[in-house]
Amino acid sequence: MTEKKHKQRVTIKDIAERAGVSKATVSFAFNSPWKITDATRQRVLQVAEELEYVPDPLARTLATKQVGSIGLLLPDPIQEAFKNPYIVELLEGIGAVCHGEDLSLTILPPVKGLLTHTVRTALVDAIMTIGIGPDHEVLSIIRKRNLPFVIIDGAGLSGSVQVGIHDEEAGYQLLRHILELGHRRITILSIKNLHEAIVDAPTARRSRILDLRLQGAYRALREWGLEPEDPGISLCLVDADMDSASGVTEKILEEQPGPTALVCFADVLALGAYGAIKKKGLRIPEDITVVGFDGIRFSRLLEPPLTTIYQSGYDKGYAAASLAVKLIRGLPGQDIVLPATLRQGGSSAPPPPGNRSPAGMDKQRRYV
């Protein structure tokens, strides 16, 4: 009877001897490549390939106390979050950093609606959150786990590292543009049940960033002598997807007198509004103005192209992931405020003749 001969397992000691480097250098090549030169790393990897060496991920984790992954904490279930193209663009930026740093990205959605459970069980080296306010339990749990974390679109937490824009100022710019065009019958579409509403707080209505945008919009209204409660000014809260925005817009268009401008606090809402308006046989912007917020790529492909507040989702994701990597390495990080600008498209124009009326019509402020 012939016994099977098992191939002897290759170790990092074998690689070190063949490559003429220390075992620590071999470990750095696989686990901390920034600690050695690229030429040294490539030599180690070449020898490892020749010896058919495959690292044991469990042994790596036990030895380094790192898993080689950063987590993105989603406020919504995956199937809902990815309906928003802006989240996809954010992921592109995060993915670019992970690729360059040889890190994996772990998507962390709520488990049965609870982010607290997700955070307690996440096997990652750092966490990036989206839109989480400063007083949420999930941030306390992250801190208790001693995990580095970066907050995206959640300004206001002392001692944290944050990436975002000046949302209040951006909301102000968007409404000022509409008011300068002469619109006084304005409906704002914002997102309900986003971020905070799913983070173990079912009574929450909007995320902090959307509240900031709304504050900026109301500041612009008051500068023009208007109040959010005035007839002609209304606010609708919709789900964060095209279908919801389309359905609500169809109802808005049935009203008489209807708005002359729709201000959407996310481009995904504007996409839905476009569909409803064209289904009604109306023209943009001749019959109604539509503006958005985010500057997603799809907004430039619309006809007419969307006037929107442009903020780069890619840049925001890239900045957040880069900060996460710095924190993992024990380096200091600081807040990053990215630019946001009004990008003129063809979807905004003065109201139709005969519709430049001041607030004071018989339309009441509306919450949907």
Q: Tell me: the pLDDT tens digits for 129-170? A: 987 766 677 888 888 888 999 999 875 666 678 999 999 999
With tokens 């898993």, the residue in question is: 67
Task: State whether residue 361 is helix, strand or coil.
Answer: coil
Q: What is the pLDDT of residue 363?
A: 38
Measured CA to CA, the distance from residue 202 to residue 56 in angstroms comes to: 42
Tell me the per-residue pLDDT of 231-271, one tens digit each, with 9 for 90 and over: 899 999 998 889 999 999 999 999 888 999 999 999 999 99
Report the CATH fold assignment for 69-165+314-338. Rossmann fold (3.40.50)
The answer as to CATH 3.40.50.2300 being correct for domain 167-310 is yes
Spell out where the chain has E strands: 69-73, 104-108, 126-130, 149-152, 161-164, 186-191, 233-238, 261-264, 289-294, 307-310, 336-337, 341-343
Count of Cβ atoms closer than 10 Å to residue 357 Cβ: 15
Task: State whether residue 290 is helix, strand or coil.
Answer: strand
How do the domains of the chain map onto residue ranges? 12-63, 69-165+314-338, 167-310
Answer yes or no: are the C-beta atoms of 290 and 345 closer than 8 Å.
Answer: no
Query: For residue 180, what are the contacts with CB-CB under 8 A and spacing of at least 6?
Result: none
58-63 — which CB contacts under 8 Å span 24+ positions?
Answer: 60/30, 60/31, 63/27, 63/31
Answer yes or no: are the C-beta atoms of 361 and 257 closer than 8 Å.
Answer: yes
| Mean pLDDT computed over 187-216 | 68
With tokens 């003129």, the residue in question is: 344
Q: Do domains 69-165+314-338 and 167-310 have the same CATH topology?
A: yes
Backbone φ and ψ for 356, nearest 5 degrees, come out as -90, 55
Report the CATH fold assignment for 12-63. 434 Repressor (Amino-terminal Domain) (1.10.260)
Q: What is the pLDDT of residue 79?
A: 84
